[in-house]
Amino acid sequence: MNSNQEQNNEEVMDVQKTNSEEIKIDEQSIEIEDKYKFGWSNYSEITNGRFAMLGFLSIILIELISQKSFLNWAGIFN
């Protein structure tokens, strides 16, 4: 039984050590990614992607609520 307990304790310590190392790496990468840079960067691509998703969702909601296509609703295609 002692060998099983020791093995379990070692596994728990390894998991805790791995988790603390992963957290340190994640915190460093977050600090680097969240800084604004001019031009093509991860930050701008993520921001543009989020706005595109919001725009697409709003078009779908408009079509569901108005029961018309977005182009008809906007007066672009009659």
Asked whether 62 and 73 are in contact (CB, 8 A), the reply is yes
Range of the domain at 18: 2-29+41-74
User: Which residue type occupies 4?
Assistant: N
10 belongs to a structural domain: yes
The tens digit of pLDDT for each residue in 3-14 reads 666 666 666 666
Could you say which residues of the chain have pLDDT below 70? 1-37
Task: Indicate whether 36 belongs to any domain.
Answer: no
In a domain, 35, yes or no: no
Q: In the prediction, which pLDDT does 23 show?
A: 59
Instruction: Report pLDDT for 43.
Output: 85
At 40 the pLDDT is: 80
Number of structural domains found in the chain? 1
Domain-embedded: residue 61: yes
- Report how far residue 17's alpha carbon sits from residue 24's, in angstroms, rounded to the nearest whole number: 11
In a domain, 34, yes or no: no
Identify the pLDDT of residue 51.
97
